[in-house]
Amino acid sequence: MVRPTQLLYPQREPAPLRPAATVLLLRDSPQGIEVLMTRRSMTASFAPGAYVFPGGGVDALDASAHAQATRRPGQSELHLTQAIAAIRESFEELGILLARRADGALADAGDIAALDRKTPFAAQCAAHGLTLAADEVFVLAHWITDRDLPRRFDVPFLVARMPTGQIPVADETEQFEPVWVRPADALARHQAGSFFIIFPTIRTLERLQAFATVDALLTACAATEQPLWTSCPRAGLLAGKEARYMEHEHPYGELAMVCPDGQIVHALDWQSEHPVALLKNVMRLTAPNPGAMTGPGTNSYLVGDPATGYIVIDPGPADAAHLERLWRAADGRIRLIVCTHSHPDHSPGAKPLQALCQNTPPILGLPSAPTARAASAFTPDRALQDQELLVLTGKGLEGEITHTLQVIFTPGHAANHLCLVLLEDGLLFSGDHVLNGSTTVVDPPDGDMTAYLDSLDTLSAACDAHGIEFILPAHGYVLGAARDAIAHLKAHRLKREARIMAAMQARPDGTLDDWVALAYDDVPTRMWPVAARSLLAHVERLRSLPPGND
């Protein structure tokens, strides 16, 4: 866990959460699913003027109306309360009634006309012999309002089929202009500036496009009785404007580390001119070498502070301007230079950076193996040992401070690859072993797929042992949920390996190119030459496995 003393911004308590419920009323059309949306009042305290799905706060009467609602066997008490709240809000805001009469028939216009939208809802339904159809309301998603907002809600997004024969009529107080719209059309109109919708609505509409019919969507929701996704978005600055992200999106982990309480202050733009402060004791400077293999560029990291001096991790290519910026960011106080491996976008800058420093900091790492390509030749001043500790200490304004990097050997991407753990803050500097936004290439003979997978297990164990929460890769943003990210990466590799095995079985006399076309048909063809290198690593691994283990 990151030490609070190393956070860049003062900690603050986000606003408390209020329980609420939202329902997507759906119908089929010849062009696909349509969803009912309404425009919020321009004076609303939350998202004024936005087009939304009907819904509102959960109140005590919703929880006390369970006996008056039908429920599915797997529907929890909480989900039942939320479904009742959604049914009530649909009636109060749009005059839509998800209920059944005593004979089992769905409520009709006559039943709706007999009820008053401003009178307690459940009691009225009971008086008219109506049972709330909570069993027809399913959980689609769970949204938690962003940490930076002054009013926050804990909201299930529920789904239900629109009752036949009913017509929505807005209350003209909270909601206006009910409209049936296809998700794709709503998104297009929003993009054009004529249909304002907020982030959770956008992401929900995007996911609705995956379902061809209402039945298909309801079946998917009924299968688990759990949200298909849960999200509490985070926001950063991109091109000077707020940009929000869900947990699976690349910047999310970085925002969680740098701005844990939701402060919208962190710039996400990739640039190579200035170091980016991630913590008080961690800076990132991205080399100006973007490309298909390097993403936005190679990340060089500075670990330490003015009191302790700095360790440089991966100085990158021998780019004079980049190295001078690194040296200046450390105010010349570089104590050690560490290369995670010897590839040409990571280690060539070590010697010229060392030459800039008056104290001649040692270059540490592992020497390149005989299997390395000529461009990856590397000899450190001293070879590191597995589990070795690299320690910076100093005395600052708050007293003694220590930053300790533990070395972990992780062969696989390269024979001499290593990672580093900042023990005091639970951070993993992963080099090229774990990347954000892509999977690393494992290129034989220096790369080895079995070693790579074993090293993932080593890193997973390190996450458990040291409470590692964040991964700082050599390419891309910081990743959060470190152990989950590693598990996902291993599962992805093994899934790809299964496809390669199937390709080999389908074309036993095929070439590597034949197998790439089958196993990587979900990857752009321009990337197939690169994919072929990792495919070869998988093939060598499969052929080395004992019979019965493939």
pLDDT at 550 (0 to 100): 57
Name the one residue in this structure whose structure tokens are 């609505």.
201
The helix/strand/coil state of 462 is helix
**Which helix (H) or strand (E) covers residue 152, if one does?**
strand 152-161
Antiparallel, parallel or unpaired: β 51-52 and 32-40: antiparallel
* Alpha-carbon span 117 to 91, nearest angstrom: 7
249 class by beta-carbon count within 10 Å (0-12 exposed, 13-18 middle, 19+ buried): middle
Tokens standing for 374?
A: 């000529």
**In sequence order, which residues have a C-beta less than 8 Å from that of residue 45 and are 6 or more positions away?**
151
**Which helix (H) or strand (E) covers residue 518, if one does?**
helix 512-519
* Alpha-carbon span 325 to 412, nearest angstrom: 31
Contact assessment for residue 177 and residue 169, using Cβ atoms and an 8 Å cutoff: no
Q: How many residues does the chain have?
A: 550
Q: How many CA atoms lie within 13 A of 332 on its CB side?
A: 5
Name the one residue in this structure whose structure tokens are 């590799």.
493
Can you spell out the DSSP letters for 189-235? HHHHTSS---HHHHHHHHHHTT-SSHHHHHHHHHTTSS-SEEE--EE
**Phi and psi, residue 192, nearest 5°:** -80, -10
pLDDT at 42 (0 to 100): 86
Name the one residue in this structure whose structure tokens are 């399913």.
138
- The tens place of each residue's pLDDT in the chain, 550 residues long, gives 999 999 999 999 999 999 999 999 999 999 999 999 999 888 877 788 899 999 999 999 999 999 999 999 999 999 999 999 999 999 999 999 999 999 999 999 999 999 999 899 999 999 999 999 999 999 999 999 999 999 999 999 999 999 999 999 988 887 888 999 999 999 999 999 999 999 999 999 999 999 999 999 999 999 999 999 999 999 999 999 999 999 999 999 999 999 999 999 999 999 999 999 999 999 999 999 999 889 999 999 999 999 999 999 999 999 999 999 999 999 999 999 999 999 999 999 999 999 999 999 999 999 999 999 999 999 999 999 999 999 999 997 778 999 999 999 999 999 999 999 999 999 999 999 999 988 999 999 999 999 999 999 999 999 999 999 999 999 999 999 999 999 999 999 999 999 999 999 999 999 999 999 999 999 999 999 999 999 999 999 999 988 766 5
Tokens standing for 171?
A: 């209350």
Antiparallel, parallel or unpaired: β 17-29 and 152-161: parallel
**In sequence order, which residues have a C-beta less than 8 Å from that of residue 436 and are 6 or more positions away?**
250, 253, 471, 473, 475, 476, 477, 478, 479
The helix/strand/coil state of 187 is helix
Angle at the Cα of 376 (from 370 to 380), degrees rounded to 5?
80
pLDDT at 298 (0 to 100): 98
